[in-house]
Amino acid sequence: MAAHDLTLEYLTTTKIGEKGQLTVPKQFREDLGLENGSPFSVLRLGDGLILLPEQQRFDNLCRKVVSSLTGAGLTAADLIATLPEARNRVYSRQYGKTTMGKSSRRRPGRRRGK
């Protein structure tokens, strides 16, 4: 996959097909590691469109999250330690009550793996 380059350049011209489909030239599909069915975000910027491969968008989001957490002095262990409390808050909002301790509590009559 190509390195992340923020240079804006004119690449090529393409046409919209009968079913509204655009063809991304082979060279660019190969450079970006795109395959059939690769998802894209379509962004409108004034009179233009920006096509952004979803993987790139996800990678950018991950970099921003890592940067923010690192800047705040947090580690992966710090985040993992907050999961039980966060799960309880979500459960409480969803069901209007708090959980009853650890997740090992099960409904009577139910067995794991069944």
Residue whose pair of structure tokens reads 């993992």 in the numeric block: 80
Contact 38, 24 (CB under 8 A): no
pLDDT in tens, 27-81: 888 888 888 888 888 888 888 888 888 776 677 778 888 888 889 998 888 888 8
In a domain, 104, yes or no: no
Q: What range does the domain containing 67 cover? A: 1-73
What is the residue-averaged pLDDT of the chain? Answer: 78
In a domain, 43, yes or no: yes
In a domain, 110, yes or no: no
CATH number at residue 9: 2.10.260.10
In a domain, 96, yes or no: no
